[in-house]
Structure 1
Amino acid sequence: MGNLLQSFSIYALTALGVFIAAMLIIVLVTRHKEFELIGKGNQAAALSFGGKLLGIAFVLGSAITNSVSLLDMVIWGVVGLVAQLLFFFISELITIRFSISDAIEKDNKAVGILLLLLSLSVGWIVAACLTY
């Protein structure tokens, strides 16, 4: 029981660390300021940011389940973060008719929902890829 609790604690704390680091990196690299916008009641920012976090959580959950070591789990957690960031930058290019950051700042909920669902999709796909 002691070894199981120790392993759980190490994996949980490491995954939480990767999750928090990913959250901070996302906040630093996006043009709009998520926490500030969310604090002002901007639902599009909350939807978009929440989707990115859930996408990372999907990948971390799969990495924990399928990893062969703690380092393996961290590496795949970073892969999930990179996939989410790449998706965000690619989506900015694809939606050239409007700026995603501007739409989020204007609380365009349709854009927020789209980003939420796309982030979840990316996270789910990356997480599924970790099973092979």
Structure 2
Amino acid sequence: MEGFWENIIVVTAARYSVVILCTLVFLAIFELLTSYKNWEEIKKGNFAVAMATGGKIFGIATIFRYSIEHNDTLLQSIGWGVFGYILLLVGYVIFQFLTPFMKIDEEIGKGNNAVAFISMMISAGLAFVIGASIG
């Protein structure tokens, strides 16, 4: 059984599964923070919501990419991935706080592609910074 966890296929499948599960949980948490329902809006064709959600997915995946690259064990990767996600979440809240002249969620929910694009780029950019800092 010891060699089982050393098999690259098993390790890859385990990390993949954990990242998918964490992504679903993290997206559910993000959905609690937004004034709209991501998947309902995407189903209706709201491209702004799709961009903002896509940026969050990209951000989460990027953080886990660095977490997996820099850590030997699955548990360490999960720990750093969760920590990175918390930092991404804080960045999202700061973005909303720093733009008091408009409500980011409302603008994205109404289909404002410009606001959604900035939101997507903030998620992507922060993910690279967070990922580069992961130990």
Correspondent of 1:30 among 9, 27, 34: 34
| Cα displacement (A) at 1:127 | 0.7
Alignment of 1:1-132 (within 5 A): 3-130=7-134, 132=135
Deviations along 1:23-58, one digit per CA (max 9) or x if unpaired, are 222122222221121111111111111101101100
Conserved 8 A contact 2:35-2:109: no
Over aligned residues, Cα RMSD in angstroms? 1.5
Structure 1 unaligned spans of 5+:
none
**Range 55-64 or range 5-14, more displaced:** 5-14
Query: Structure 2: how far apart are the matches of 1:31 and 1:52?
Result: 16
Letter of the structure 2 residue corresponding to residue 92 of structure 1: Q
**TM-score, L = length of structure 2:** 0.89
**TM-score, L = length of structure 1:** 0.91
Letter of the structure 2 residue corresponding to residue 95 of structure 1: T
SS, match of residue 91 in structure 2: helix
Letter of the structure 1 residue corresponding to residue 39 of structure 2: F
Deviations along 1:95-130, one digit per CA (max 9) or x if unpaired, are 100000110121111000000101100111111112
Paired-residue identity, %: 27
Structure 2 unaligned spans of 5+:
none
| Cα displacement (A) at 1:13 | 1.3
Query: Structure 2: how far apart are the matches of 1:35 and 1:99?
Result: 20
Runs of 4+ with >6 A deviation: none
